[in-house]
Amino acid sequence: MKKLLNFLKCIADENRLKILKLLLDSQFCVCQLQELLDKSQSSVSQHLSYFKELNLLNEDKSGKLIYYSIDRSVYDSFLANLISLKASSLSELELEDLENKINNLDTAAEIRTENKERGCC
């Protein structure tokens, strides 16, 4: 679940979403991405580091340049996990915790209503 959340955080950034789209369709080196996105080399490298942490990048070295592309099997795995995400994937403990929080909210609302009826708080 944590990896899926990190994937969603990764693509929540507009620039990283653009990089994802570019690298899904082709391979580019940092300098090409820099030009396409009109970003600095350090900015592009920083964005790529998010993909590296998730093992989403293929690296193809050509001389001094490294060409990046998205590893489709890892990407497809994230998508499959996202599609299959259901409430049933939560553990029983997590569900109990959510139910307790809901019950506490209901109890707090009842107390506020009773207090208002008594002219209190």
pLDDT tens per residue across span 34-89: 999 999 999 999 999 999 999 999 999 999 999 999 999 999 998 888 887 764 55
Alpha helices in the chain (DSSP H): 2-11, 14-25, 30-37, 41-53, 72-83, 92-117
Which pLDDT band, with edges at 50, 70 and 90, does 112 fall under? low
Asked if 33 and 71 sit in the same domain, the reply is: yes
**What is residue 87's predicted lDDT score, i.e. its pLDDT?**
47
Percentage of the chain beyond pLDDT 70 is 79
DSSP summary character for residue 91? -
Query: Which tokens in the block code for residue 40?
Result: 């600095």
Asked if 91 and 74 sit in the same domain, the reply is: no
Asked if 17 and 52 sit in the same domain, the reply is: yes
**What is residue 101's predicted lDDT score, i.e. its pLDDT?**
77
CATH number of the domain to which 18 belongs? 1.10.10.10
Find the domain containing 35 and state its range: 2-85
pTM greater than 0.85: no
